[in-house]
Structure 1
Amino acid sequence: MSRLKGALALAGARWAWNRYRRRCEPPPSAARQNTELLAWGAAGAALGVGASALSERRRTRRMRGKVALVTGGSRGLGLQLAREFGASGASVVICARGREDLDRAVAELTGRGVDAHGVICDIGDPKAVDALLDEAVERFGRLDVVVNSAGIMRVGPQETIADEDFVQAMNIMFWGPFHLSRAAVERMRGTGGTVVNVTSIGAYLSVPHMLSYSVAKRAWAALSEGLAAETGGTGVRVLTVVPGLMRTGSHKGVLFSGDPEREYAWFALAAGLPLLSVSAERAARGIVHAAASGRGFLILTPVTRIGMAVHGVAPGFTQRAMRVAGRLLPKAPEMAMERHGSEAADSRIGRLIDTVGVLNERAGSRLNQPSRGEKGRPRDTGPEDAAEDFELAGSRVPEDEGGPAPESRS
């Protein structure tokens, strides 16, 4: 703060001196004015380049010597967070459920010069969580940051979402962060560290056709804020991150139910709108900076902040607005179906939406997301088997975080 005050004082003194000198001197000629303008322009450009270089240098040193563990790190926001922690100087441990994607992500991180290690882990299993933390410490000798960013997303009318889908969402997006956060807090107690929980605008504003996701995210947000309140004096900080829409290409891994093609259309369109969504790269930089600077709460986009503010001030109005939105979304057909986004994108409307949402498509290719045509064993379901097990291969995908729509998966 003292350096900032000194810089402001010097800048003020220089401004005052220039004002005094100009009053005492005769008006400069046009040639002299042009020369001074060019000189000031060159000085400003040099200052900007220097500030940018200094900022990049500080960025690369921000997490030097630290070790960060990122769940859901094989794709989406989790992968981009691992890249950003590595670019900031940290060693990185990523975990995911699938070996192929995990190996691909570790190889990509290593190719960027990041000291990375991958662990297959189901964070819904407390014993697996303990083994994950043990392996991270054994590999790098310490653990400074734990990031909960894994998640799943199912989109469709609540009639097409079975009880088992709610259980699965809670296992991955509440019980998983619950086990990992509490275990990490105990290990970091006294030595210091940060637990980062990537929740969602859906935790504070429940969006139609994303009920299981919003329920699990709300529980996760309450856990994160509660832990932050109870870890004072322990040396451990808990950062709650609230993303909104993010361009991560996660819409291709989402499971759509009811009328999959139409559900995919509105979801993918919202996820890729440039004025409403933020890139995964920008989101990851903000999260890493917040974790390094000791912040406790981070809202990623202005739209998310506005949504939370409106809901806080006028919850009744927000509820009515969500009811109107729910009436505009596709209705559940008599014969409900389910498909992954990578399959729903093969329809005529899906290809049209992907053309409009080209930024999200490009993000998906950068973030190891499924591409069009990749299948996850979808099946047709009727009302009579709505309670059957919907846990399909590939239905669990790391969250890219997001909000009312993909965080862009938060």
Structure 2
Amino acid sequence: MSRRSPLRPPKRLLLAAGLGLLAARRALATPYNLSGKRVLISGGSRGLGLALAREFTAHGARVVLMARSAAELGRAAADLRDRGATVHTVTGDLTVAADIERAVEETARVYGGLDVLANVAGLIQVGPLENMTEEDFREIMEINAFAPLRLTRAALPLLRASRGRVLIVSSIGGKVAVPHLAPYSFSKFAVTGLGQALRAELAREGVGVTTVHPWLMQTGSPRHALVKGQVKKEYTLFATLDNLPVLSLDTTVAARRIVNALVRGDAEAMIGGPALLMRYAQALAPQLTADLLALSNRFLPGPSTGDRAVPGASVETPLTQKNPIKQAAEAEFNEGGSVTPGREGPS
């Protein structure tokens, strides 16, 4: 015979009620109003960073763009000002602590504070694991994982004061590891964990954190990727998949969905139907997903004898050069200039 009092509800009922209250609170939460907000975007000069800057400013936000190239920043700023946006630029390298501090301080000086930090800049390396070195893994971790950590920590005093928001751009590669993108997935799994940790710890201080996981996007950025192995084959495959109609996402649409996820206050958001399908496949059938990915690797180019990385732009082929979607994306998102390998806006 149970000793539980008939007046005391079962623990499972209490848990269900608590979860229901949390869900109701979330559903009734007021969307975050971006009008007049001050937004710092790393990797904001081109690719997804530029697309997000357009979307933020379309909501009435004022933006600061940080990137390494002053020329690219100048073109991006002109693009945004032509659209009626308020924009300021900071030239700096995310691997340099003084540059990170300066970007945050400059945002506060120009706009009087900071409301949203968008961690967008990313490095991507393409090629077989056999051709990747430990240094490749360390280099990509610096940009894709440690840079968002350092920039967020530097910005936290301002974000606490404004009860602001943090956006972390991860990838479907941060949920499902993809062959020939081993260092990239390694770093994106790390930044996904960072986003979850920040979300849990900063909520009590009024700072919201949203981590997004985009599918392939037509950003025009493959030419900045670092390629190893049989470089022409690797790059042709990567650049083609990144710019296939239906399979890859329109970058403007992806940027809108990302900003909407931030406005709603989502903890995580999968951007694109294929990303959502891969997430559920990994969660519900991890063995099958692993087997299918292992099978797909059999059809990819094999390793080469050297470990030298080259920028994608140096191994263009007629097939990639004449791809109209790729050409349009490069022109639309400021990707057609001189190549600074890997950074300022992930694919």
TM-score under structure 2 length normalisation: 0.87
**Would you say 1:266 and 2:237 are equivalent positions?**
yes
- Residues 140 and 265 of structure 1, relative CA distance in 2, 3 Å threshold: same
CA distance in structure 2 between the aligned counterparts of 1:72 and 1:221, rounded to whole angstroms = 18
**Contact persistence 2:137–2:183 (CA under 8 A):** yes
- What SS is found at the alignment partner of 2:90? strand
100, 105, 125: which one pairs with 1:134? 105
- Residues 127 and 335 of structure 1, relative CA distance in 2, 3 Å threshold: closer
**Would you say 1:172 and 2:172 are equivalent positions?**
no
**Contact persistence 1:265–1:353 (CA under 8 A):** yes
Moved more, 287-296 or 207-216: 287-296
**Contact persistence 1:125–1:176 (CA under 8 A):** no
Superimposed CA distance per residue, residues 27-65 of structure 1 (whole angstroms, 9 cap, x where no aligned partner): xxxxxxxxxxxxxxxxxxxxxxxxxxxxxxxx9x95221
Within-5 A mapping of 1:147-296? 147-296=118-267
**Contact persistence 1:257–1:337 (CA under 8 A):** yes
Give the Å deviation of 1:190. Answer: 4.7
What corresponds to 2:336 in structure 1?
Answer: 370
What corresponds to 1:56 in structure 2?
Answer: none
Q: In structure 2, what residue type is equivalent to 1:361?
A: Q
What corresponds to 2:325 in structure 1?
Answer: 359
- What SS is found at the alignment partner of 1:289? helix
Give the Å deviation of 1:358. Answer: 2.1
Within-5 A mapping of 1:51-70? 62-70=33-41
Superimposed CA distance per residue, residues 86-141 of structure 1 (whole angstroms, 9 cap, x where no aligned partner): 11111110000111111221122122211101101222333322221111011011
Give the Å deviation of 1:335. Answer: 4.5
**Contact persistence 1:68–1:90 (CA under 8 A):** yes
- Residues 327 and 63 of structure 1, relative CA distance in 2, 3 Å threshold: same
**Would you say 1:398 and 2:344 are equivalent positions?**
yes
Q: In structure 1, what residue type is equivalent to 2:165?
A: T
Superimposed CA distance per residue, residues 247-306 of structure 1 (whole angstroms, 9 cap, x where no aligned partner): 111111112111111001211121112222111100111122222232222111111000
Superimposed CA distance per residue, residues 130-177 of structure 1 (whole angstroms, 9 cap, x where no aligned partner): 221111011011211100000111111122222222111011111100
**Structure 1: any 5+ residue segments left out of the alignment?**
1-58, 377-393, 401-408
**Contact persistence 1:200–1:242 (CA under 8 A):** yes
- Residues 320 and 90 of structure 1, relative CA distance in 2, 3 Å threshold: same
Give the Å deviation of 1:337. Answer: 5.2
CA distance in structure 2 between the aligned counterparts of 1:164 and 1:338, rounded to whole angstroms = 12
**Contact persistence 1:64–1:89 (CA under 8 A):** yes
CA distance in structure 1 between the aligned counterparts of 2:193 and 2:308, rounded to whole angstroms = 33
- What SS is found at the alignment partner of 2:205? coil
Give the Å deviation of 1:336. Answer: 5.5
Superimposed CA distance per residue, residues 319-373 of structure 1 (whole angstroms, 9 cap, x where no aligned partner): 111111112110112355543221211xxxx222444x422321111101136xx
Q: In structure 2, what residue type is equivalent to 1:367?
A: F
CA distance in structure 1 between the aligned counterparts of 2:256 and 2:119, rounded to whole angstroms = 16
- Residues 396 and 303 of structure 1, relative CA distance in 2, 3 Å threshold: closer
**Structure 2: any 5+ residue segments left out of the alignment?**
1-30
- Residues 163 and 370 of structure 1, relative CA distance in 2, 3 Å threshold: farther
- What SS is found at the alignment partner of 1:95? strand
CA distance in structure 2 between the aligned counterparts of 1:130 and 1:316, rounded to whole angstroms = 44
CA distance in structure 1 between the aligned counterparts of 2:105 and 2:167, rounded to whole angstroms = 19
What corresponds to 2:48 in structure 1?
Answer: 77
What corresponds to 2:58 in structure 1?
Answer: 87
What corresponds to 2:14 in structure 1?
Answer: none
